[in-house]
Amino acid sequence: MASMPSIKSKEIKIVQEIPISKTLPFWETLKQGKVLATKCTKCGKLYFPPAADCPNCLSSDLEWVELSNEAEVETFTHVVIRPTSFQQNKPYTVAIGLLKEGVRVLAWLTGFKLSEIKVGMKVKLVTKITAEGNVTYEFVPIEPK
């Protein structure tokens, strides 16, 4: 922040409304405990995050498929210093998991001590409702602790 003479800019509040019409089944199904991907019916390519269009073969005929919940941690980090919109959260761990189907998912990893987390460990992908009431997904231990 300025330590020298300065004038404050005008304040504005920015909230964008992000369209989800084309991925609506993904968000609806999350509430039912399922994580969906899309699969191109023409070339078979699987998309996560789900895409409504396939740039591989230029088809827009994609179907919704449910992902298995079996994942292997490819990498992770524990985020201590957090951005403005996550200041109310405690430090959190983010991981990238490779699913059995070959797609990768980036999400929070919960239920472990940081020292227990290793690259290559098996985890489970589950859906979750946040404290603010939003639906999302996260990785958790395979066996409840």
Partner 1 sequence: MVDLRKVAIIGVGNSKFGNRSDVNVAELTYESVKPALQDAGLTAKDVEFVALGSVGAGAWYEELLPAVVTAEYCGLTGAGLVRCEAACASSSAAFQTASSAIASGQTEIAMALGVEKMREIDTPTAMEWIGRAGYYFWEFHNFGLTFPAYYALYANAHMAKYGTTEEDLALVAVKNHKYAAMNPLAHLQNKITVDDVLASMVIASPLKLFDCCPMTDGSAAIILASEEKVKELKIDTPIWVAGIGFSSGTANLSRRKDYVGLEASVQAAQMAYKNAGVTPNQIDLAEVHDCFTIAEILAYEDLGFCNKGEGAKLIREGQTEIGGKIPINMDGGLKAKGHPIGTTGCSMIYELTKQLREEAVEKSRQVPLKNYIALAHNVGGTGHYCYVTILRR
Could you list the residues that contact partner 1 (CB under 8 A)? 1-4, 6, 9, 18, 48-49, 74-87, 89, 92, 94, 96, 103-108, 114, 118-120, 130, 134, 136
Least distance (Å) between residue 87 CB and partner 1: 6
Q: In terms of CB distance, is 9 or 21 closer to partner 1? A: 9
Q: In terms of CB distance, is 118 or 145 closer to partner 1? A: 118
Least distance (Å) between residue 67 CB and partner 1: 12
Alpha carbon distance 38, 69 (integer Å): 15
Least distance (Å) between residue 141 CB and partner 1: 19
Q: In terms of CB distance, is 64 or 92 closer to partner 1? A: 92
Least distance (Å) between residue 24 CB and partner 1: 14
For residue 72, count other CB atoms closer than 10 A to its CB.
16
